[in-house]
């Protein structure tokens, strides 16, 4: 494992603890050596990204954001719209990971700037495979922006 691999930071925005555990297990199962940071809704994700409060003072800038849509306080689409308006944050790719199968959510997410929309498989094996494909693409294949505001 190189330092670069350890430095790959994923911010998971997910209000269901069970789903967050499943994502963590799936990353491990697929040997994706990422630092998984977890927040429970859009508002907390914003606090994380802006390093507000003592809890997030040292928060590492994520290379990728995995975003649930249905959450209390600030939902996924509100968060996505807001982050894509911010010059310092808009270059972070955001992938939707949701149970919503509604076509209008799919279209709206891409229009707001999502870099993929994954329907959460109910089956655990399928879920592992989904995270594996996600890792192959974002972790192994594509180049991501340098950490512009990481200091």
Partner 1 sequence: MSEKRNVQILIVEDEAGDARLMELALHKSGFAMDLSTVNDGHEALRFMRREDERFLQAPRPDLVLLDLKMPGQSGLEFLSTMKRDDSLCAIPVVVITTSALNADVAASYQFGAAGYVAKPNDINEFIAAIRILCHYWCKRVRLPENPE
How is residue 149 written in tokens? 């505001």
At residue 141, the 3 state secondary structure works out as helix
Between CA 116 and CA 35 the distance in angstroms is: 21
The reply to whether 115 sits near partner 1 by the rule CB under 8 A is: yes
The reply to whether 10 sits near partner 1 by the rule CB under 8 A is: no
Please select the residue that binds partner 1; options are 2, 58, 146, 151, rule is CB under 8 A: 146
Whole-number minimum distance, CB 130 to partner 1, in Å? 6
Please select the residue that binds partner 1; options are 22, 25, 82, 106, rule is CB under 8 A: 106
CB atoms within 10 A of CB 86: 13
The reply to whether 92 sits near partner 1 by the rule CB under 8 A is: yes
Tell me the DSSP string of 104-139: HHHHHHHHTT-S-EEEPPSSHHHHHHHHHHHHIIII
The contact set with partner 1 (CB under 8 A) reads 87, 90-93, 95, 103, 106-107, 110-111, 113-119, 130, 133-134, 136-138, 140-146, 148
């Amino acid at each position: 494992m190189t330092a670069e691999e350890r430095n790959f930071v994923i911010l998971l925005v997910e209000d269901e603890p069970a789903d967050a555990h499943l994502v963590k297990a799936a990353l491990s199962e697929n040997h994706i050596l990422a630092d998984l940071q977890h927040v429970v809704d859009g508002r907390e994700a914003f606090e994380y990204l802006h390093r507000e409060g003592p809890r997030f003072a040292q928060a590492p800038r994520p290379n990728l954001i995995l975003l649930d849509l249905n959450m209390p306080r600030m939902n996924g689409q509100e968060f996505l719209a807001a982050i894509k308006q911010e010059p310092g944050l808009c270059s972070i790719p955001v992938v939707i990971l949701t149970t919503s199968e509604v076509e209008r959510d799919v279209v709206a997410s891409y229009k707001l700037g999502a870099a993929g929309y994954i329907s959460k498989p109910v089956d655990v094996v399928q879920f592992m495979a989904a995270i594996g494909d996600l890792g192959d693409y974002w972790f192994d294949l594509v180049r991501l922006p340098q950490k512009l505001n990481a200091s």
